[in-house]
Copies of this chain bind each other. A is one copy, B any other.
Amino acid sequence: MDQLTTTPALYEAYKKRLQEIADIRYATALLQWDQETYMPAGSITTRSRQIATLSELAHARFTESVTGELLTNLLERKDLTEEQRSNLELSQYDYQQQVKLPSGFVRELSETISNSFNHWVEARKNNSFSLFAPWLEKLVTLKRKEAELMGYEHHPYDALLNQYERGCTTELLDQLFSRLKPALAELLAEIKQQPQVENRILKQHFQEDQQWAFSMDLLEKMGYNFHFGRQDKAAHPFTINFSSEDVRITTRVREEDISYMTWSTIHELGHALYELGLPNNQYGLPLGEAASLGIHESQSRLWENNIGRSLAWCTHFFPVLKSYFPQQLEPYGPEDLFRAINKVQPSLIRTEADELTYHFHIIIRYEVEKALVEGSLEVNAVPEFWKQRYQHYLGIDVPDDSNGCLQDVHWSHGSFGYFPTYSLGSIYAAQFYATLVKQVPKFEKLLQEGEFEIVKNWLSDNVYIHGRKYTSEELCRRITGKGIDPEDFMQYARDKYRFIYAYKLEGIIL
């Protein structure tokens, strides 16, 4: 690394290096997308090794000492643009994080994950925790090792949290959840006093291909550009990208419930619009990446819940939905849809939970993971612990592990510390949404008229264009004037659910 090389030339070398690594990472992502969508079942073993090789390769290239030298050399220069400095500082942070993980560890983890996933699928299918337990054991061991390798100040779980949400700690989460729990419990108790809302409108027969056509229409109307993306079917809905010009989503259909696919599609749309809106000229560089998983989740939640589960949205989309299912929707109106999709009821499955009880699903997973990582909970004791917590927080019995601690794919993917970003996402979403509503005049009217472009533009200006420039906390402060704070979420929740559960809705626009 010649000190005499000009800054632009050296920055080009840095950029070339990172973009080639991005090419490998995105090829890996395509191997994964294909595995979940179109791959013939018989090639799973070979696919796992292909993914492992490319993951290891990208990690090995990035952590080569030449990357570190390039970064050190460049960051000493005085003639960097602000944008260049941002990229370099973020890359240096990534580099310092990544070099802590030896390549052998990365490959071992990747292979353990591939195998764990298959065993988890079997375990869930057979409702047999013991089929998954040895793999969960291996994963917990590897994750504890990872925490030690990454380092932490107070709690090993902090090291894992930090990988998904920079700066997030058990201390911060304990604080947030201790505010959220009593406030949510109070609102849930209030709702329990009211007559339950009706959701029969959702529980009819909705033909699969009609649902599919509706979802494609919906995506287009809400601003998804199929020139740069596509929707496919997969067992688990997800968003994946291979650049900001190729951002794909997946969904799945249940013919006996129209909401199952619809709000999942809107959720993924929120993720996809974020990726599509990231700065295109920053391919492979930090400023071309999302701020954090928590912010990513704020985007999906904002579209799914704050926008997609509003009365304005229902008013706008009810006639569209009715054009696909005239018979099923004949006896109903937009308010019926609005109430039905916002029915609050403690339930077993996280992905089907309402916006309020959802947080308890996360809190339970947080408690399990924290305890596993700190070693205060044995893997074999997870099912019992799980049942006990569901009874404690939601007052429900968990009948079996398939509907209990085997329900989520995350652990089999090696994702420990990921779940809390879902709650963070809802909290950020409520803060952003409250700000948006204040800043855009007549927002609800515009929403009711289907002007979703306004939401996308506001998010683009406030979130998308910054890429990873700011931390979640900084971004939140920039947009809302304060750091993360569950109060906006609680206010939104109280307004919405008191309205739904205590008033008649006819003729009222929320």
Chain A positions within 8 Å of B, measured between CB atoms, are: 19-20, 23-24, 26-28, 30-31, 34, 38-43, 45-47, 49-50, 53-54, 57, 225-230, 232, 242-243, 245-246, 248, 283
Contact = CB atoms under 8 A, between A and B. Distances in A.
A46 B226 contact: no
A230 B43 CA distance: 12
Nearest to A276: B42
A39 B226 CA distance: 10
A246 B28 CA distance: 17
A23 B49 contact: yes
Contact of A23 (B19, B50, B225): B50
A40 B245 CA distance: 8
A61 to B, nearest CB: 9
A58 to B, nearest CB: 11
B54 A27 contact: yes
A56 to B, nearest CB: 9
A57 B245 contact: no
29 contacts: A19-B49, A20-B53, A20-B57, A23-B50, A24-B53, A24-B54, A27-B28, A27-B54, A30-B30, A38-B232, A39-B246, A40-B226, A40-B227, A40-B230, A40-B246, A40-B248, A42-B227, A42-B245, A43-B228, A43-B242, A43-B245, A43-B246, A45-B245, A46-B243, A46-B246, A46-B283, A47-B246, A50-B242, A57-B57
A259 to B, nearest CB: 27
A50 B34 contact: no
A283 B20 CA distance: 26
A38 B245 contact: no
A232 B23 CA distance: 25
Given A34-B34, A230-B38, A243 B27 contact: no
Contacts of A39: 246
A46 B245 contact: yes
A46 B242 contact: yes
A130 to B, nearest CB: 28
Nearest to A50: B23
A172 B304 CA distance: 66
A383 B128 CA distance: 68
Contacts of A46: 242-243, 245-246, 283
B26 A50 contact: yes
Contacts of A42: 225, 227-228, 245-246
Given A40-B229, A42-B227, 15 more contacts: A24-B57, A26-B50, A27-B27, A27-B30, A27-B31, A38-B230, A40-B227, A40-B245, A40-B246, A40-B248, A41-B227, A42-B228, A42-B245, A43-B246, A47-B242
